[in-house]
Amino acid sequence: MPGISKLKGTLEMSRDRGRISGAKRRVTETRDRMTEKKPKRGKSWEHLAWKSHKYNERIKVKSGTYLRSFCPHCGKELTQNNMVLFDAVKQSGETGKVELSAYLNTHERKTSKIIPVGEVLKDLLCPHCHKSLIVPGRHCGIGDAHVASFLVSVSEAKVPFLICLRAGCPWHEISPDDEQQIMLEDSHEW
């Protein structure tokens, strides 16, 4: 029966054309999806941590950046409930607890003893190992009070952070090299 074999041949050709046209259709759909304009993504997380600068978008750590804090002696974390915890020794020898905000340039503080604004602490200690955090020979950039140092980190790199021991003094310091290290070593995009 020659008519049946001709019909089978026509059906097979039709099936092949269907496969080819299906494959072409899938290629076309994939190409269209790849070339379609995607909506712009929102700002990345970096705008929350880095301050813009005219030469480099990531030259300064932004005010309000959360800094994890660590003891330079024992390495234990000093940050708890968004506050940096210390043991303080007043000039009279009286001891108490001091809590400072863990956010850069947020000068919130809490104390267990009354420390009047302007009073200089005799010592600032790690609450874990009780070693002094005072930096011998260093003084506040505003006045003559001694300074204390502990380590801060945005994620992994830890760098020294200096604060004044005069209650209420806003002075603090991270060296420009250390600030750069925090930004470069902690960013997975560099």
In a domain, 112, yes or no: yes
Handedness of CA 67, 78, 168, 132 (dihedral sign): negative
Amino acid 145: pLDDT? 93
Which pTM value belongs to this model?
A: 0.63
In a domain, 88, yes or no: yes
Query: Residue 126 pLDDT > 90, yes or no?
Result: yes
Query: Residue 190 pLDDT > 70, yes or no?
Result: no
147 and 69, same structural domain? yes
**Confidence grade of residue 82 (pLDDT, cut at 50, 70, 90):** very high
Tokens, residue 54 = 């005219």
Q: Please give the residue that has the higher pLDDT: either 46 or 82.
A: 82
Cβ–Cβ < 8 Å for 98, 180? no
In a domain, 163, yes or no: yes
Residue 1: domain span: 1-31
In a domain, 37, yes or no: no
List, for residues 4-32, the tens digit of each pLDDT value: 555 555 555 555 555 556 666 666 665 66
90 and 151, same structural domain? yes
59 and 25, same structural domain? no
Structure-derived torsion over alpha carbons of residues 111, 78, 44, 182, reported in degrees to the nearest 10: 120
Cβ–Cβ < 8 Å for 113, 96? yes
Q: Please give the residue that has the higher pLDDT: either 173 or 126.
A: 126
Query: Residue 81 pLDDT > 90, yes or no?
Result: yes
In a domain, 18, yes or no: yes
Read off the pLDDT of each residue in 38-54 and give the average, rounded to a whole number: 55
Amino acid 147: pLDDT? 95
Average pLDDT, the chain: 77
**Confidence grade of residue 158 (pLDDT, cut at 50, 70, 90):** confident
Q: Please give the residue that has the higher pLDDT: either 97 or 12.
A: 97
Number of folded domains that form the chain: 2
